[in-house]
Chain A
Amino acid sequence: MDALLLHRIHFGFTITFHYLFPQLTMGLALLIVALKTVAIRSRNELYNEAARFWAKIFAINFLLGVVTGIPMEFQFGTNWSQFARTTGGVIGQPLAMEGVFSFFLESASLGLFLFGEKRLSPWGHWASAFTVFVGSWISGFFIIVTNAWMQHPVAYKVLPNGVYEVTSFWGLLTNPWALLQYAHNMSGAAITGAFVMSSVGAFYVLENLFPEHGKIFLRVGVIAGAISCVAQIFPTGDLQGRYMAKHQPAAVAAMEGLFTSQKGAPIILMGQPDEEKRTIDNPLAVNNVLSFLIYGTTRAEVQGLDKFPRDQWPSPLPLLFYAYHIMAGLGTYFVGVMLIAVFLLWRGKLFQTRWVLWALMLSFPLPYIANTAGWMTAEIGRQPWVVYGLIRVSEGYSKYVSAGNGLFTLLGFMGMYAVLSILFIVLLYRIISKGPAVHITSPPKGSPMIMA
């Protein structure tokens, strides 16, 4: 078995599973702040109940994010030690900053948020929710800075012993790639939060179970969803796509399935890439659109894969092509469904339009797929480099960790995460079926929540 492939799958699997949780944490944190704000300003107790309900889901989700997140930080050393050794002086920095500036803040304020509602004033409790939100979004920023440097290394020099060193700390933090990617990624997290909240709301309204809370979830979810879904495509997705075309042209060519450079390049909406024959089977293409999207004119030439040596093509290329198309296709669907929903909300008809409620209810898995596919696009697009243009993945993994040892731990993670998935689904089902109406069901005797 090929050790390099195994280490790639190891990281890919654990990071994919991990990121299912933080995207909801970051999205929900924002929406909980919105709920708490409305609760205070409108003095409507239903909004407080809504916030408490989502806090319960948040807490479990946060826990799984934490426990699956710790292995990520340590995997740079365990599975990618050659990469960690040469670049630790650069990307170790934002990773350490995440711990120092975000996790301490997050753990402290989450304790206050979950335990402190009775001890704190309404605004004090609002502030604890707000710092949870700030902490989680700072954490996202440092991770994006880390990834952005791998995608688009800036502000570095190589020391005589082959180790990379930061030349400008500020330059590292304000890497243009990081700022664009951060905007795109955080709006993606908001989409997940918005869809999950709308989905539960639609379920409550359709089932006529806690319909008043359901309507609040729908109102907040749909408004946040419409804003973030539009922002996901324009400006954040658009800007990032253009920046990527400039700095990772090979990745963009592979994403779009453009094997040959051409003027008036078409956009391929669907098809199956054939790497050997360098063609797309069954293409559904619209001429000129790709040139227009990247350069603003239909006649511009777009670089195809033929411009790049074979050993610089991202791999696996078909997976990159599909990941990108799934992300873009779902993103388009999100805009459609959320704009319809927000329009109906404005006209006061959303809660009666059952087909839209059904669509919202069933759509909750899709943002997870879209966010995952988006990250796969970024990460496979970066291949074959671990640091774009500087270090290949084949020079990055731990060469003394054999494929056998790697497979052992990969299987272990798979088994453990399978169990965590089941626990998560069971517990979420219980919370959702129990519902947000705290004043109806009294707490079971002596069962305090010790979540922190």
Chain B
Amino acid sequence: MGFIWFWLVACMLVAYVVLDGFDIGVGILHLFLARNEQERQLTLRTIGPVWDGNEVWLIAGGGTLYFAFPLLYASAFSGFYLALTIVLWLLIMRGVAIELRMQIAMGVWKSFFDGLFFFSSSLLAIFYGAALANVVRGVPLRPDGYFFLPLWTNWRIGPHPGILDWYTVIEGVVALVALGVHGALYIAVKTEAELQLRARKAAGTLWIALFVLTVISLGATLIARADTLVNYQGHRLTYAVPFIVLLSLVGMIYFSRKMVDRNAFACSCIYLTTMLVGAAIGLYPRLLPATSGSAYDITVVNAISGPHTVHVGLIWWSFGMLLAIGYFVLVYRMFRGKVPLGAGGYEH
């Protein structure tokens, strides 16, 4: 059961990153790509009907994590207290920025929310990257299963780590660039003409950075956590994952150059998925490794809920997920294709 729920929660978080990832990517880039009011509106309209549904994957994933692995939920959320609270503030700002921008037709008002959208999206990406890096690096868990990390200490991995250190900041930048590329490719899929050209160009430029950073990130992970490779050595097939990461990276730039934007975006989805799956493989069966000694690791074995809970949970969860996937197919079909110019949907 621990194995099953580990991967189910991982799937939900991957779905969140891939889906909300392009919302965040749009936020990171829209100030640079959209140069006038019409383009700004168009950019926002690419995510308008879907962003809050995408965000639900985080809430549902968090809830699932809570009941399947209460120990992990309790320990990690209180231990990363400040970072998590800041993420919550950023999510508030991001949602408000997207929705309230259109409420008042005033330049200052719109510019303010455009700036807020950029600010919150960029920091969200960095925090998500750093969060994952914290889990990979491990935290100083106490014998009672808890820990508490300040935001930063001396920026080093060592006996007194902070949430931000050189390693987690690198991964934060990786996330920022990766979601930026993801967002650019998404805009290229959903728009036309100049905006689309600019999005492709931005994706191309950022891609170089992403390529370099991906390599750095893999190296840095091996320094920060040498035993990441143990699972890979045990199961040779898993080496396919880094291979797919590279392949999807190449695919992104190849299809983008060829102007087959849908395929380029699909490659970006695969890239994000395999990066996360790669990290998950390195972690399993640990959920949160302890830097204070592997005896204190939080694992799928010691964190899993009672047997009845997880069995019953599997039934309703599967049913609910089928429904959710159904809604997503419905909504994405309804709003498929290029975003139309001019007034959209809802009348004032």
Contacts and interface: CB of A to CB of B under 8 A. Distances in A.
Which of A63, A81, A405, A427 has the most chain B CB atoms inside 10 A of its CB? A81
Interface in B99-129: 99-100, 102-105
B180 to A, nearest CB: 21
A164 B96 CA distance: 38
Contact of B81 (A60, A88, A405, A449): A405
Interface stretch (A39-47, A104-112, A184-192, A236-244): A104-112
Contacts of B98: 450
B153 interface: no
Contact of A88 (B74, B105, B346, B348): B74
A213 to B, nearest CB: 15
B263 to A, nearest CB: 26
A142 B214 CA distance: 42
A412 B41 contact: no
Contacts of B84: 74, 77-78
Interface string A206-237: 00000000000000000000000000000000
B108 to A, nearest CB: 14
Contacts of A449: 102, 344-346, 348
Contacts of B308: 165-167, 169
Contacts of B102: 447-451
A400 B55 CA distance: 29
Interface string B300-340: 00000111110011001100110110011011001100000
B214 to A, nearest CB: 30
A119 B343 CA distance: 14
Contacts of A100: 60, 63-64, 316-317, 320-321, 323-324
Contacts of B309: 89-90, 93, 165-166
A103 interface: yes
Contacts of A447: 41, 102, 105, 343, 348
Contact of A77 (B74, B306, B344): B74
| Nearest 10 CB-CB pairings of A with B | A88-B70, A77-B77, A92-B67, A165-B306, A96-B63, A450-B48, A99-B60, A100-B320, A115-B345, A85-B74
19 contacts: A74-B77, A81-B74, A84-B74, A85-B74, A96-B313, A100-B60, A101-B320, A104-B320, A104-B324, A107-B327, A111-B331, A115-B345, A159-B306, A409-B81, A447-B102, A448-B345, A450-B44, A450-B49, A450-B99
A109 B330 CA distance: 10
B306 A163 contact: yes
Contact of B48 (A90, A99, A452): A452
Contacts of B95: 63, 66-67
Given A108-B327, A430-B103, 10 more contacts: A74-B62, A76-B73, A76-B77, A93-B67, A104-B328, A105-B327, A165-B307, A166-B309, A412-B85, A450-B99
A97 interface: yes
A348 interface: no
Contacts of A443: 343, 347-348
Interface of A: 52, 59-60, 63, 66-68, 70-71, 73-74, 76-79, 81-82, 84-93, 95-101, 103-105, 107-112, 114-119, 159, 163-167, 169, 398-402, 405, 408-409, 412-413, 416, 420, 423, 427, 430, 438, 441, 443-444, 446-452
A100 B103 CA distance: 30
B279 interface: no
A101 B64 CA distance: 12
Interface in B148-207: 148
Nearest to B77: A77
B147 A89 contact: no
A125 to B, nearest CB: 12
B59 interface: yes
Given A108-B328, A450-B99, A452-B50, A81 B78 contact: yes
A67 B77 contact: no
B290 interface: no
B146 interface: yes
Which of B71, B74, B102, B334 has the most chain A CB atoms inside 10 A of its CB? B74
A362 B61 CA distance: 42
B45 interface: yes
A60 B95 CA distance: 11
Nearest to A85: B74
A111 B73 CA distance: 31
Contacts of A409: 81-82, 85
A108 B347 CA distance: 19
A379 B92 CA distance: 26
A82 B77 CA distance: 11
B231 interface: no
B66 interface: yes
B320 to A, nearest CB: 4
Contacts of B62: 73-74, 99
B218 interface: no
B244 interface: no
Given A85-B70, A104-B324, A78 B85 contact: yes
B89 A412 contact: yes
Nearest to B145: A85
B256 to A, nearest CB: 26
B82 A101 contact: no
A132 B131 CA distance: 34
A73 B345 contact: no
Given A88-B305, A96-B67, A114-B345, A67 B92 contact: yes
Nearest to B50: A452
Nearest to A157: B306
Nearest to A97: B316
Contact of A451 (B99, B320, B347): B99
A81 B81 CA distance: 11
Contacts of B82: 405, 408-409
B56 A99 contact: yes
Contacts of A67: 91-92, 95-96
A117 B345 CA distance: 8
A60 B49 CA distance: 14
Given A77-B76, A108-B53, A450 B344 contact: yes
A167 B71 CA distance: 19
A416 B49 CA distance: 25
A423 B77 CA distance: 30
Nearest to B66: A92
A114 B344 CA distance: 11
Contacts of B27: none
Contacts of A423: 96, 100
A107 B58 CA distance: 13
Given A93-B309, A111-B331, A115-B344, A82 B74 contact: yes
